[in-house]
Amino acid sequence: MQPPGFPPATPEGDSAVDHDGQPADNAAVAHARGGPSPPPDTATPGTGASRPAKARTWRDKGAATADRIKTGPVGTFWSRLSAVDFMNSALMFAGLFLVCFFPFLAVVDAAAGRNTQKTITDRLGLNAQAAHDVDALITVGNQTVSALSVLGAIVLVLFAIGIPGVLQAWYEKVYGQTARYGGLRQFTRKLIWVAAFLVYLWIEALVGQQTGPAGGRLLTFVCEFAIAVLFWWWTVRFLLDGRISWRALFPAALATGFCLTGLAVFSLLLFSGSIISGENSYGPIGVVLVLLYYLIGAGVCLLLGAVFGQMWNESHHAPGSTRSPGETSSAAAK
């Protein structure tokens, strides 16, 4: 007999039955009595199927992020640099400058009574030991000019105008302009650029010598930045023969000046040690390699500035706004 109000007692063990007279599960019996239930099965249906779905979701998100980067400013900037083959182009520029323009610079400096070694060491911000290694590499005197024949002078000039030719091809490709070849006018313009580049190097060397004692390196870098912006602003305009307006070229000039000034800071911090180490390890060829690295960096800076300027124009101006007013009016007349 059970007291009134209490449920009937449930038999224990395998003989337990439910209220319909069927055997009851032991787990259900234990749960009804308040006892601990056995741990559930850890294998949840659908878990294995959800893992490939999650992996596919993450893969789709990664692909979408990669597409956004490729089509965004960073990806576009990189694709523009790859289109001009910037590393190989900079390497070609450095080799051409070292082999063709550097002898011309040395001869012109000697004829003008200037010291080419001093120009290089001031430009790179080298310390006394590194400057001594560069001096040992280069020996130029008055006998160099006196021994130069007319044919040798012509060859030097022809080698030197290769630099503006390379720069002109770069800027025409970056700004989508038609290449202009040959002719006495193009030859004369390249000679003018070479002369202007020499003046640019001398002015920067003079500014460094004058501002260094007065205001330290910071003032020197500020002055060199301003001079670089002005010169490369004029360079792109001049080499493109006025086909791009001054206003459209200013972002490229600003970016070029910034990159070249950054290279000068980098050179000041690291190149002295690199030249000394290269001289100790490999002799004069080690110094030449460090100078080559600097010229490669300069070529990269020029391409970075040009590509950035063109992208800035495309994002802030309507198509065709980079043309100069004269070219726009002539195109409209046609």
What is the per-residue pLDDT for 122? 81
CB-facing half-sphere around the CA of 134: CA atoms within 13 A: 26
Q: Would you say residue 307 lies in a domain?
A: yes
Q: Would you say residue 11 lies in a domain?
A: no
Name the residue with higher pLDDT: 147 or 267. Answer: 267
Spatial separation of the C-alpha atoms in residues 106 and 112, rounded to whole Å: 10
Above 60 in pLDDT, residue 47? no
DSSP 14: G
State the residue range of the domain holding 118: 92-328
- pLDDT over 90 percentage in the chain: 38
Q: Which residues contact 88 (CB under 8 A, 6 or more apart)?
A: none
Per the structure block, which two tokens stand in for 13? 């063990």
Q: Would you say residue 110 lies in a domain?
A: yes
Spatial separation of the C-alpha atoms in residues 266 and 85, rounded to whole Å: 24
* pTM higher than 0.85: no
Quickly count: other Cβ atoms within 10 Å of residue 278's Cβ. Answer: 22
Average pLDDT over residues 30-35: 49
Q: Would you say residue 10 lies in a domain?
A: no
Above 90 in pLDDT, residue 307? yes
Quickly count: other Cβ atoms within 10 Å of residue 78's Cβ. Answer: 14
Above 80 in pLDDT, residue 277? yes
Q: Would you say residue 41 lies in a domain?
A: no
Assign 3-state DSSP to the chain and report helix, strand, coil percentages, each to 5: 75, 0, 20
Longest Cα separation, the chain: 135
Average pLDDT over residues 278-305: 93
Q: Would you say residue 53 lies in a domain?
A: no
Q: Would you say residue 68 lies in a domain?
A: no
Contact indicator for 308, 77 with CB cutoff of 8 Å: yes
- Mean pLDDT is lowest, of 271-285, 286-300, 305-319, for 305-319
Name the residue with higher pLDDT: 84 or 327. Answer: 84
Average pLDDT over residues 257-269: 94
- pLDDT band at residue 67 under the 50/70/90 scheme: low
Above 50 in pLDDT, residue 234? yes
Q: Would you say residue 200 lies in a domain?
A: yes
Phi-psi category of residue 115: left, alpha or beta, with phi > 0 → left and psi -120 to 50 → alpha: beta
Contact indicator for 249, 236 with CB cutoff of 8 Å: yes
- Which candidate, 98, 237, 201, 116, places its Cα nearest to that of 159? 98
For 175-230, what is each residue's pLDDT tens digit?
989 887 778 889 999 999 999 999 999 898 888 778 765 567 888 899 999 999 99
- Mean pLDDT is lowest, of 41-50, 154-163, 265-274, 308-317, for 41-50
For 90-99, what is each residue's pLDDT tens digit?
999 999 999 8
What is the per-residue pLDDT for 86? 84
What is the total count of domains within the chain?
1
CB-facing half-sphere around the CA of 193: CA atoms within 13 A: 26
Alpha carbon distance, N-terminus to C-terminus of the chain: 116
Average pLDDT over residues 281-285: 90
Spatial separation of the C-alpha atoms in residues 207 and 211, rounded to whole Å: 6
Rank 32-46, 74-88, 287-301 by mean pLDDT and report only the highest.
287-301
Average pLDDT over residues 135-140: 74
Helix residue ranges, H only, 40-183: 47-71, 73-83, 86-96, 102-111, 116-124, 128-137, 142-146, 150-160, 162-174
What is the per-residue pLDDT for 20? 46
Name the residue with higher pLDDT: 6 or 105. Answer: 105
- Mean pLDDT is lowest, of 18-32, 156-170, 181-195, for 18-32
Above 60 in pLDDT, residue 30? no
Average pLDDT over residues 56-84: 75
Average pLDDT over residues 264-282: 91
